[in-house]
Amino acid sequence: MRPTNVDQDRRNSVSLLGSSLAVVAGRSVGIIIQFVAGVILARLLTPNEFGVFAVAAGVASLLNALREFGSSTFLVRAPAVDRKTVGSVLIVSTGMSTILGGIIALSASWLSAFFGDHRLELLLYVLAGNCLLVPPAMLGNALLVREQRFLALTAIETVSAVAGALVMVGLALVGAGPLALALGASISTLSVVVMTIMAKPQGWVLCFSLRHVKSVVTFGGWVTGMSLVAQFSERVPELVLGRTQGVTAAGLFDKAGALSRLVGSFAGPVIHSVLLSQVAEENRRSADMSTAYFRRLAVLSSVAWPAFLFVAIQAEPMVLLTFGAQWGQAVPVASWAAINAMLTTPFLLADNLLITKGLVQDLFWQKLVLLCGRFLVILCASPFGLVVVSAVLLAPNLAYLWLNQKSVLSLVGSRWGVLFRSLRQATVLAAAVGAATLWAARGCSGVGTAEMIQELIMTGALAAGVWVLVSLLGGGPMTEVSRRIMVRLWRRATAGWQTRNGQR
């Protein structure tokens, strides 16, 4: 008897859940490392020093997408991968990385004069050299994603996080200033290259081939344009604020978004690694993606919305405890950053679907609209302060989501009503967690370290309990996933208990 579509969907769901849990569990280790390093660095470096690096990283990130030229996505979605395909991808990525590293190095002096800070020049030289490490790191990552070897990817990410954090903290302790951040980023990338070689992904070969260069360039052109626009859109606040309000304002804005980026870093690997490979595989076997998309959107939003809303409400104790009192001005900005991230993060799923289906041009124009909107509102709002800037960013984000989801609905042949219904459980969960957090925080008014820790523990425990209860009883897609996780945990616990009793 052949398996039905329902059976296939269930198997895919189990595989997806297992892969996602493995990635999230491993990612947690890396996040803890980065979090601890961030706490230490926030006390060793000033907002001005963070601002200098934020501007340098912002400039370099504008060219990050060009360095690989869509090569990793090309490899993941390719029907088959051989030596010539890998060689063509590597030659395109290496050529672009070399050119762009040279551009960054040659423009370092001018950019430091433009932003009025001589420290930028050395940072840009270091980041330019980092470009040469990107091609082999990208190649290995793409091949491992294609093979769905997520445990290996998690190990590589953990080692690179440890290496980068140790270098950053060590150099900051000896007074290297913002240079510590740049060198730490380079060491982290180098660690990825070394660990990838040790992982030996299938198809891994460091050789060049011209056989499929035309196909790589044709596909990579639009992907690169889209990625470049997206990178610029993410960094445009720091660049505009760094020019109009100074690097300290840029540093405050960058640090205000750190908590949201920390939460988002749990979802990022699942979206860009697990789901990208899953969607590409489904496309290769011509599977129906409509039901899968709305189900994944429902589950991801059910986790992301309550988490980001908790950060938005509890931004003050989290910022002050994590980064110290010198970052107090970033508190209201951090709340707005979390709200913006809450709205946009789950819908990153759409990027995988549109790229896999070949609608890269549509995605490019959507990202361009977002970039123009963000640039205009930031430029107009910057004289009114960081809080206003972070609040008005909601407008271009909502406009982008409307365009983005309109394309997805057209692709899968569905309607807005289906999309909104898929978000009902996430809305209920976010409302329940938000209400519980506000109620618990109402009686907490201490400003000391002990009081803030107590507040976070109390509100966090209550919010987590409410989320688990509502997710188990809600009756939506998240309910099935939550129950499946609970069953797995129970089976493992009972198996371990039986094993220990047997040994006795």
The pLDDT of residue 402 is: 94
Helices first, then strands: H and E counts in the chain: 24, 0
- Show Cβ contacts of residue 93 under 8 Å, excluding neighbours closer than 6 positions: 67, 68, 69, 71, 134, 135, 138, 139
Rounded CA gap, 106 and 240, in Å? 22
Tokens 């947690």 correspond to 28
Query: Tens digits of per-residue pLDDT, 373-386?
Result: 989 988 888 888 88
Alpha carbon separation from 290 to 241, 322, 409, 416 (Å, rounded): 41, 41, 9, 13
The pLDDT of residue 65 is: 56
Query: Tens digits of per-residue pLDDT, 27-51?
Result: 667 777 777 887 788 778 877 887 7
Rounded CA gap, 327 and 251, in Å? 10
Angle at 399 between CA 224 and CA 20, to 5 degrees: 60
Question: Can you say whether the dihedral through the CA atoms of 467, 468, 474, 479 is positive or negative?
Answer: positive
Alpha carbon separation from 492 to 121, 208, 381, 447 (Å, rounded): 54, 47, 54, 42
The pLDDT of residue 17 is: 53
Contact 237, 256 (CB under 8 A): no
Q: Specify the DSSP class assigned to residue 326.
A: G
SS3 for 329-396 is: HHHHHHHHHHHHHHHHHHHHHHHHHHHHCCCHHHHHHHHHHHHHHHHHHHHHHHHHCHHHHHHHCHHH
The list of the chain residues with pLDDT below 70 reads: 1-28, 59, 61-70, 265-288, 443-447, 474-493, 495-504
The pLDDT of residue 268 is: 58
Q: Specify the DSSP class assigned to residue 81.
A: -
Q: What is the DSSP string of 172-198?
A: HHTT-TTHHHHHHHHHHHHHHHHHHHH
Where are the chain's structural domains? Answer: 13-246, 257-493
The pLDDT of residue 399 is: 93
SS3 for 199-232 is: HCCCCCCCCCCCCCHHHHHHHHHHHHHHHHHHHH
The region, left, alpha or beta by phi > 0 then psi within -120 to 50, assigned to residue 4 is: beta
The pLDDT of residue 336 is: 92
- Count other C-beta atoms under 10 Å from residue 53's C-beta: 25
Q: What is the DSSP string of 275-312?
A: IHHHHHHHHHTT---HHHHHHHHHHHHHHHHHHHHHHH
